[in-house]
Every structure is written in structure tokens, then in C-alpha cells.
Amino acid sequence: MEFSSKIIEQAVEAFSQFPGVGKKTALRFVLHIIKQEQHTSENFSDLITRLKTDLKFCEKCHNISEALICEICANPARDSSTVCVVQDYRDVMAIENTGLYKGHYHILGGLISPMEGIGPSNLNIDSLLEKLKLKTVNEIILALNATMEGETTSFFIFRKIAPYSVKLSTIARGIAVGDELEYADEITLGRSITNRIPFDSVLKTK
């Protein structure tokens, strides 16, 4: 692509760094911003800055929050004895949209993937074990993607929490193997949470 302005070229390059955004789509974004009123562009710029300056990670579950403790963990109506382990914020949103889960969450921040250089130490697993040491958690639900990375991570957690007296379950496989939670429809995902099964029964079928 040939650009008439270095600023436009740099802006296109910046937008094209986003997942799934190519140079042509990035150019459409840039041209759209150019056409906007200045105050609209300034508001957009301010929001991008606030994403980095005003947002935090919940001290209890690692969820994205504007406070030190997210709204879910701070809600006394939620069941803190049940903890649903997920990969990231998108999975929390997907499960919350079902309206069927009333427990807490624990966000790992990724999945074990040797190919990508992601090991257990790169994930929020130690803080999950710290919760179990407090003996206030009765059930851990593994709600990870039905992929090789998801299964590897689930098995690793299974071994790590074995010494603790806690029920371990996993979502029912209404979610097809290879699928990701964020793309599952709400009914299927909701049923998968509600009809969760003991994790060791999954191991016996493999």
C-alpha cells in the first residue's frame, strides 16, 4: 500500500496489529476516524488510554475490573464456595450471559501450550491453590476449551488440587471437541455448566 501521509501509514500499521484486522480493514478504520468530529476522536483516544490506566485485575479472581475487587467477587449473593476456572475474561462474559451460574470465577490468563512457550508458571495456578488452602472452596469447575491445550491444563490442575479435599468437576461436553467457550451459544453453554460432571469420570473415558 502506498500512503499519501506518514501519519496514515503509521495509524494503519497500528490498527493492523489487532487480531483479525488486515491492512485494508485498518485503512477503513483510519479513514473513519479522520471523518469524525475532533471531540469524538478525542473521546475514543481517551478511552484507549483508560483501558491501560484505569483497569485493574481483581485481586481475588484476576478478572478485569475498575476496582481492586471485581463486582462478581464483591457480590455477597454469589456462592464463593464454588469456583469456575476459565481461560480469560471472554469466558467469564460467555458464562455470565447464560444467567445460570452464581458462583465465583478464577481466570488463568491462558492455557498451557509448550508450542507457544506457555507453561504452568505463566498462568494463575498458584493463586488458585492458595484459595484451596483457606478451605472455603467446596467445588472447582473446570470450564476450559475442549482443545489439546485446554485438556492439558485441566489435567495439570487435576493433579495439583488432588491433595485438597475439594470436589472437582468439568462442564458437560455439549461443547464440541475443539470448540472455544466464547463461541458457544448460551443455551448449550448454560446446560454444560448446569450438567457438569466429575472430572475423574472424564479421565476414565480416555
Domain 6-53 sits in CATH 3.40.47.10 = no
Question: What is the pTM assigned to this prediction?
Answer: 0.79
Mean pLDDT of the chain: 88
Radius of gyration of the chain (CA): 20
Between 198 and 7, residue with greater pLDDT: 7
Q: Is the pLDDT reported for residue 180 higher than 70? A: no
Domain ranges of the chain: 6-53, 74-204
| Better-predicted residue by pLDDT, 175 or 31 | 31
Is the pLDDT reported for residue 206 higher than 90? Answer: no
pLDDT score for 86: 97
Residue partners of 124: CB distance under 8 A and separation at least 6: 62, 106, 107, 108, 109
Rounded CA-CA distance 172/108 in Å is 20
Sheet holding 103-107, edge to edge: 103-107, 79-86, 139-142, 167-170, 197-198
- Determine the Cα–Cα distance for residues 15 and 136; give it in Å rounded to an integer: 45
Asked whether the domain spanning 74-204 has the same topology as the one spanning 6-53, the reply is no
CATH number for the region 74-204 comes to 3.40.1360.10
For residue range 29-84, what is the model confidence (pLDDT) as tens digits? 999 999 999 999 999 999 999 999 999 999 999 999 999 999 999 999 999 999 99
- The total number of residues shown for the chain amounts to 206
